[in-house]
Each structure stands twice: as C-alpha cells, then as structure tokens.
Structure 1
Amino acid sequence: MTGLAQLAVTPRDRFLEMAKKELAAFERREREFSKKEREERAAELRSRSDKSARSLISRPGRVC
C-alpha cells in the first residue's frame, strides 16, 4: 500500500488523520451555516423589496 492508502501507524499519524477529519467536518458545517445565512439574508431583502413595491403601487396618483 502506498500514498494515501497507507494505514496510520504512529500516534502522530493517527492524530493528524483525526485532525484532518475534524477540520473537514468543521469546514462542511461552516459552508452550510454560511449558505443558510445568505439564504436568510436574501429572503429578508426580498421581503423588504416586496413591501416597498407594494407601498408604491398602493399610492394612487403618485408618479415615480
């Protein structure tokens, strides 16, 4: 077995492998959190935009 297929045999190797897995899991959670945060912010901005558009439409006689 060569390259990445080698087994972690020393305590240091096992520690590094565990650290890499934890970092990958953290990065995945961080990407999911950022995505959710962006979606929530976009929804909030769309909501504000819709409210503004409705208020302009509901004012008769006003020319933009």
Structure 2
Amino acid sequence: MTEDKHRETTGRNPRLEAAYDELIKFERKENEFRRKDREERASELRLPLNEINIH
C-alpha cells in the first residue's frame, strides 16, 4: 500500500512541475503584453510614463 502511494506521488510531480512551468510562461507573456499595451496607450495619449510616480 505504501508503494502505491509513492508511485502516485512521484507520478504527479512531473505533471505538477510541467503545469507550474506553463503557468509561469503564461504569466510572463501576460506581463509583457500588459507592459506593451500600457506603453502603446501612453504614447497615443502622449503621456510620459517614466515621469509618472504612483503612490
């Protein structure tokens, strides 16, 4: 019985790691998309992004 649980746990880890890696990739792409979108909107409105300080 212990051996079966061990197999289940080790079998899940690579899948969980793969899912976690995919989530990280997605978050990086999403952050990059948001940054580009923010820059595009700022340039359309002619806002100086570097000079704006949000508190």
TM range (shorter): 0.7 to 0.9
Instruction: Structure 2: give runs of 5+ residues left out of the alignment.
Output: 48-55
TM-score (norm 1): 0.63
- The sequence identity of aligned pairs, in percent, is 20
Runs of 4+, deviation exceeding 4 Å: none
The structure whose residues are more often helix, as a share, is 2
- Larger RCO (CA under 8 A, 6+ residues apart): 2
Structure 1 gaps of 5+ residues are 1-9, 55-64
Structure 1 or 2, whichever has the larger Rg, is 1
| TM-score normalised by the chain length of structure 2 | 0.72
**Matched residues, number:** 45
Question: What does the per-residue CA deviation read over 1:28-62, in whole Å, with 9 as the maximum and x for residues that have no partner?
Answer: 000000000010011000000111118xxxxxxxx
